[in-house]
Amino acid sequence: MQISADIIIIGGGAAGLMAAAGAGNILGAAGRVIVLEKMARPGRKIMITGKGRCNFTNVKPWNEFSGHIYPKPNFLKPSFYNLNPEKMIEFLEDYGMESTVERGDRAFPTSHLASDVVDALLRAAQQNGAEVLCNKEVKSIIHKEDSYSIKCADGCEYTSCKLIIATGGLSYPKTGSTGDGYQWAKDLGHSVKSLFPSLTAIVPKGYKNTTQEKGHIDRSTPLSEIGEALCGNQLKNVGLNIHIDGNLAVSEFGDLDFTDGGIEGPIGFKVSRKCVNSIINGSKVRAEIDLKPAVEIEDLTVRINTLWNEISKDKRNANKLYKDRFRILLTKVLPMSLIPAFIRTSPEIDHKTLPKALKAWKMEIVGYVGYERCVVTAGGVSLDELTAKTLESKLTPGLYFAGEVLDLDADTGGYNLQTAFSTGYLAGISAAKSLK
């Protein structure tokens, strides 16, 4: 069966649904827009965003927002100004979803239910006339002159003169993100920049019970004894410095979590892009955690020496071994749950070297969790081959790209979804306007 449309959108995620809403809004009853989604329902990845709470955007102005976009933030600028975070919040409100802005300028649905975001996006697409078809796995795309022929696994064939590829990346493949769009981009003449997982756990040496020395370490790999000791610790307001081949590459301050994957949390995720890319390229990566960032090392040394003297003079400790007195010292400067792992990872430490160790707790980073649990895919369709103002291909007329399939990724905090929304909407209205 062959079905014709004016615009076909492959992918019913954040970018695809926004493209459908934008295209349908421009065309109205004068055109036909079809979304082909291979999963049983659209927006599967949105449903798990923010542990189901869905931090869907960040309301920072462009001059601050752009600092969280990689590798070429200026490419996003036309999309951003066409649909900025405030407009996105208004857009979702128009389709029945109220929003709340919380700490860090992060916007959430007031209900804190990701399903409300998906429902609003689906309403937007359908009320603007788009048809959203699920269980439509695209198997091939053929471009001839000024038309596209898309064949699905169920035998249906769809044709259109405009095609928008919004298939997402490789992250969380169980949600349908299996990287199909990258191969189609190549088949249609585009180049794809190197792909790698970002916003993911980075794995210190000895954290997992594996003989693998470097690279992708599956999250399901069992923890080592050190990993077991570290897992579950949440560090608030600490510093994190990443050294690449001995040179300081990035410094962050904030919260850090040790999980069953490795080092995560806001600042763990933020440095993961640099760490993963460096490991892939064969560089040596070292993390240094500053557990006492508010105190200079000189003042910390004085404080620890004072505490040590008090412990040593305490008659109750007169017959205790050095290691037992040292453990008492550690209880005064570290959370109890962190002490066993801190000692294991710093075997030569004593009260004299403790200040330096607290200011620079060193861990060699040897691996990372891959696409099975990363938040976003870095790399993608080359931006040099697209027009930023429309997201149309410079190489293949009538072809547009939007969302995670692009060589655009961002920090955690609502930036990635806003990028998907903005690029999707611009691609949709651009394709529709080119028809009119």
- Distance of alpha carbon 405 from alpha carbon 180, whole angstroms: 9
What was the pLDDT predicted at 251? 97
Tokens representing 326 are 């040292």
Are 68 and 411 a contacting pair, CB within 8 Å? yes
pLDDT at 432: 98
* Packing angle, helices 114-127 and 85-94, rounded to 10: 80
- Separation CA 62–CA 87 (nearest Å): 13
As a whole number of angstroms, the longest Cα–Cα distance in the chain is: 90
Pick the closest to residue 423 from 4, 163, 81 (CA basis).
81
pLDDT of residue 194: 97
Rounded Cα gap, residues 41 and 174, in angstroms: 13
pLDDT for res 174: 87
237: left (phi over 0), alpha (psi -120 to 50) or beta: left
pLDDT of residue 50: 83
In tens digits, what is the pLDDT along the chain, a chain of 436 residues?
799 999 999 999 999 999 999 999 999 989 999 999 999 999 999 999 988 899 999 999 999 999 999 999 999 999 999 999 999 999 999 999 999 999 999 999 999 999 999 999 999 999 999 999 999 999 999 999 889 999 999 999 999 999 999 999 999 998 888 999 999 999 999 999 999 999 999 999 999 999 887 999 999 999 999 999 999 999 999 999 999 999 999 999 999 999 999 999 999 999 999 999 999 999 999 999 999 999 999 999 999 999 999 999 998 988 899 999 999 999 999 999 999 999 999 988 999 999 999 999 999 999 999 999 999 999 999 999 999 999 999 999 999 999 999 999 999 999 999 999 999 999 999 999 999 7
First vs last C-alpha separation in the chain = 27
Amino acid at 260: D
- 207: Cβ contacts below 8 Å, ≥ 6 apart: 223, 224, 226, 227, 230, 262
Which tokens sit at 396?
């293949």
Query: For residue 213, what pLDDT is reported?
Result: 79
Which residue do the tokens 């993608």 mark? 380
Instruction: Give dist(CA 142, CA 54) in Å, integer.
Output: 36
3-state secondary structure of 239: strand
Strands 285-290 and 234-244: antiparallel
Cβ(162)–Cβ(26) below 8 Å: no
What pLDDT score was predicted for residue 176?
A: 87
What residue ranges define each of the domains in the chain, with the CATH number in brackets?
Answer: 2-197+375-435 (3.50.50.60), 201-373 (no CATH)
SS3 state at 57 = strand
pLDDT given at position 318:
86
Strands annotated E in 120-232 = 131-133, 138-144, 147-152, 157-160, 162-165, 192-198, 202-204, 215-216
Per-residue pLDDT at 83: 98
Q: Which residues contact 378 (CB under 8 A, 6 or more apart)?
A: 70, 195, 196, 197, 198, 273, 276, 277, 409
pLDDT at 211: 87
